[in-house]
Structure 1
Amino acid sequence: MDVRRAGERYRGGDAAAGIESLHAFSFGPHYDPDNLRFGAVIACNEERLAPGAGFDEHPHSHTEIVTWVVEGELTHRDSTGHRSVVRPGDVQRLSAAGGVRHVERNDGDVRLVFVQMWLAPVQPGGDPCYEVVHGIADSTPYAVPEAGAMLHVRRLAPGERTAVPDGAFVYAHLVRGGVRLGEQELGPGDSARITDAKDLEAVGARTGAELLLWEMAG
């Protein structure tokens, strides 16, 4: 298990435009050849957007983009004609495939915080697609077969235990609260990269926890 602390993230964004970004992997102007990916995950960005701030239309290709809103509302528009508002508890996925353009904005009047995770597809190309699962239930897995990955959302009460999926690669990101993962204590924004996970448990701290777990094939 390789634990990465929130304070170790690369800081990006544009403060003047109301955008603060925290990157867990090599990203944009910050190039780290030893931190390019883990399993299928190639980015895990924490984004904080002030009211009215956002990312203007920009392209993506050959990437599975999964977004988890922590607070506020995310307005999404893309070149395939989809428009939606994504709220806490929703899972949004944009499969960029052979190429797509999109806009992400905070059109609300309060701060928007979201976690966006990029996964590399097993095969490049294809047609882009988009979906939102509103109010995904706890412990309901969300499959991204294009990347050979499964997302598990865990909302743990204080002292509650949950099994970490066994797998060749498991990527854990703590959204809020505290959790004990094996022998490690994680706080908000911390992550863990677990290779050959087996018989591992996560336990909610006294504050409870909201935990995202990516289960990935080898």
Structure 2
Amino acid sequence: MDVRRAAQRYPGGDPATGIESSHAFSFGPHYDPGNLRFGAVIACNEERLAPGAGFDEHPHSHTEIVTWVVEGELTHRDSAGHETVVRHGDVQRLSSAGGVRHVERNDGPGPLTFVQMWLAPARPGGDPSYDIVRGIADSTPYAVPEAAAMLHVRRLGAGERTAVPDGAYVYVHVVRGDVRVDGVELGPGDSARITDAKDLEVSGITETELLLWEMAG
């Protein structure tokens, strides 16, 4: 298990325009050849947008983009004609495939925080697609078959436990609260990269929310 702390993330964004980013993997100008990916995950970005701030239209290709809103409202528009507002509890996925452009903004009245995870597909190309699940229930898996990956959203109270999925690669990201994974304490923004996970548990130290990626080899 390789633990990465929130303080180890690369800072990014443009604070002068209301955008603050932190990157768990090599990203943009922050190139680290030893931290390019884990399993299918190639990015796990925490984004904070002030009201009115956002990312203007920009392209993506050959990437599965999954977004989890922590607080606030995220407005999404893309070149395939989708326009949605994403809130806490919703799982949004943009499959950029052969190419798509999109806009992400905070058009709400308050601050916006979201976690965006990029996964590499097993095969490049294809047609872009969009999906959103409103208010996903706790423990309900969300499949991203293009990347041979499954997302598990878990919410634990203090003292509650849940199994870590067995898998070749498991990526654990703590959204909020404090947990213990295989005896190691993790806090908000911390992550654990687990190879060949088997018979492991996560226990809540406080009320917590976790994103766990189960990935094939």
TM-score between both structures, scaled by the size of structure 1: 0.99
User: Counterparts in 2 of 1:1-218, with a 5 A limit?
Assistant: 1-205=1-205, 207-218=206-217
Percentage identity across aligned positions? 82
Determine helix, strand or coil for the equivalent of 2:136: coil
1:25 Cα deviation from its structure 2 partner: 0.1
* 1:114-158: CA deviation from partner (whole Å, max 9, x where unpaired): 000000000000000001100000000000000000000000011
Q: Which amino acid aligns with 1:142?
A: Y
* 1:70-94: CA deviation from partner (whole Å, max 9, x where unpaired): 0000000000000000000000000
Aligned residues: 217
**Unaligned stretches of 5+ in structure 1?**
none
1:208 Cα deviation from its structure 2 partner: 1.2
> What RMSD over aligned residues (CA atoms) do the two structures have, in Å?
0.3
Q: Provide the C-alpha distance between the structure 2 equivalents of 1:134 and 1:177, rounded to a whole number of angstroms.
A: 23
Q: Provide the C-alpha distance between the structure 1 equivalents of 2:15 and 2:162, rounded to a whole number of angstroms.
A: 38
Determine helix, strand or coil for the equivalent of 2:207: strand
Moved over 2 A (4+): none
1:28 Cα deviation from its structure 2 partner: 0.2
1:183 Cα deviation from its structure 2 partner: 1.3
Q: Provide the C-alpha distance between the structure 2 equivalents of 1:108 and 1:87, rounded to a whole number of angstroms.
A: 11
* 1:146-189: CA deviation from partner (whole Å, max 9, x where unpaired): 00000000000110000000000000000000000011100000
**Unaligned stretches of 5+ in structure 2?**
none
Q: Which amino acid aligns with 1:191?
A: S
Determine helix, strand or coil for the equivalent of 1:16: helix
1:109 Cα deviation from its structure 2 partner: 1.1
TM-score between both structures, scaled by the size of structure 2: 1.00
